[in-house]
């Protein structure tokens, strides 16, 4: 798109505030201006589009998504990564971190190469904007492995760390258990290269989390899921990673808000303790997202999606194995079922995740940002229309 477009809506949510009777000016692929329609100078050459009662928001930002439409970002092909990106773009996610899962190391490196290739090959509008690699695994505590196969969990040896760090220019985020041997050195090295280090699938005690923060860890992966909580050692009680995440100012966090992984009470707790500036929503979607019931694989394990259940489970039903939701469904859930305000829910789905990974060009409606937008229905919060780079997506 090269022309100028003006979009009018009863409500514009920028990511930080609500503008009634608002307007957004788009020049080519970028946002030019935003404000009240009555106060914004409309260039005569602008093509106007009235979105009626639709709520105009930034495109949703998912910093933890594994798959969709039968593809997984660990499959090891650029086409699989782009299939995932296309599935989530149709559902209103305009930016995402393609996330790899625990696998044999050679498969992980191949998956990294495929994500890099997919980013290079991706044409404007061909799926959600790929913001970099999120590596989830293999450096986890066995006791908190969740849907990651125990036999594939490997130590971060100096050789492995060197190989991982060779991808630093493409890594946006790495999730690891900070209490494992060698983890603190790895955290320091990743943080020094600008990679977001996230604690997860961890059995760390509070003091170990604090040491990891001193080394550069800044975020926690899917609160409550795959992390230690308060436990008694002898006569004393010790806080775990969860408690550290909820009260430490230096940590941001994320929740899988699909209505299965966490009850509303825990989502409310995280929201009240962290606030919308430090807590974001993620889908943690796996390959069944967009497909529904059936049998699938993730991280070397067999998982199932049962009829009537919008979540994946291990075949033995002992653990969830990822969500099949989208960011839009998570946003709907926290507004309609958890009772979080629309403004804060949008912020937790756009601006906050973007800022957590250090991006200011997505997740907000502001001059200079990408013209990635979503129009929500005012009654259901479901996406009506999706735009990326100034062009509408065929959904």
Instruction: Give the tens place of pLDDT for each residue, 277-306.
Output: 999 999 999 999 999 899 997 767 788 999
Q: Which residue has the higher pLDDT, 322 or 337?
A: 337
Nearest Cα neighbor of 246 from 225, 264, 271 is 271
* Active-site annotation holds for 53: no
Do residues 58 and 14 make contact, with C-beta atoms less than 8 angstroms apart?
A: yes
Categorize the per-residue pLDDT at 2 as very low, low, confident or very high, splitting at 50, 70 and 90: low
Lowest mean pLDDT among 20-29, 152-161, 194-203, 251-260: 152-161
Q: Which residue has the higher pLDDT, 302 or 50?
A: 50
- Each residue of 91-116: pLDDT tens digit? 999 999 999 999 999 999 999 999 99
Q: Which of 284, 360, 361, 372 is catalytic?
A: 284
Do residues 132 and 64 make contact, with C-beta atoms less than 8 angstroms apart?
A: no
> What gap in Å lies between CA 248 and CA 250, rounded to an integer?
5
Query: Tokens for 346?
Result: 């949008």
- Each residue of 178-206: pLDDT tens digit? 999 999 999 999 999 999 999 999 999 99
CA distances from 37 to 6, 31, 371 (A): 9, 15, 18
């Amino acid at each position: 798109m090269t022309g100028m477009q003006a979009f009018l809506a009863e409500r514009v949510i920028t990511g930080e505030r609500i503008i009634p009777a608002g307007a957004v000016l788009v020049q080519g692929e970028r946002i030019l201006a935003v404000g009240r329609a009555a106060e914004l100078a409309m260039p005569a050459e602008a093509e106007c589009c009235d979105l009626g009662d639709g709520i105009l928001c930034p495109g949703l930002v998912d910093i933890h998504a594994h798959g969709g439409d039968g593809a997984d970002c660990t499959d090891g092909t650029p086409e699989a990564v782009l299939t995932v990106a296309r599935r989530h773009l149709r559902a209103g996610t305009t930016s995402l971190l393609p996330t790899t899962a625990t696998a044999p190391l050679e498969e992980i490196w191949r998956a990294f190469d495929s994500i890099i290739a997919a980013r290079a090959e991706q044409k404007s509008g061909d799926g959600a904007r790929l913001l970099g690699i999120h590596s989830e695994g293999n450096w986890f505590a066995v006791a908190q492995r969740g849907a990651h196969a125990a036999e594939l969990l490997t130590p971060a040896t100096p050789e492995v760390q060197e190989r991982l760090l060779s991808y630093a220019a493409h890594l946006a985020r790495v999730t690891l258990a900070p209490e494992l041997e060698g983890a603190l050195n790895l955290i320091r090295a990743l943080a020094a290269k600008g990679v977001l280090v996230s604690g997860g699938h961890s059995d760390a005690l509070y003091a170990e989390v604090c040491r990891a923060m001193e080394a550069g860890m800044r975020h926690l992966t899917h609160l409550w899921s795959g992390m230690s909580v308060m436990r008694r050692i002898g006569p004393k009680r010790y806080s775990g990673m969860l408690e550290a995440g909820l009260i430490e100012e230096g940590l941001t966090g994320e929740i899988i808000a699909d209505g299965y992984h966490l009850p509303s009470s825990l989502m409310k707790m995280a929201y009240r303790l962290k606030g919308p500036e430090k807590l974001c929503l993620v889908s943690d979607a796996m390959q069944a997202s967009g497909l529904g019931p059936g049998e699938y694989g993730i991280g070397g394990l067999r998982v199932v999606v049962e009829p009537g259940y919008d979540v994946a489970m291990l075949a033995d039903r002992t653990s969830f194995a990822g969500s099949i939701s989208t960011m839009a469904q998570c946003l709907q859930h926290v507004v309609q079922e958890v009772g979080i305000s629309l403004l804060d829910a949008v912020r937790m789905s756009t601006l906050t995740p973007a800022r957590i990974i250090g991006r200011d060009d997505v997740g907000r409606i502001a001059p200079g940002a990408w013209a990635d937008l979503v129009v929500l229905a005012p009654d259901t919060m479901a996406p009506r229309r999706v735009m990326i780079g100034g062009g509408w997506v065929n959904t």
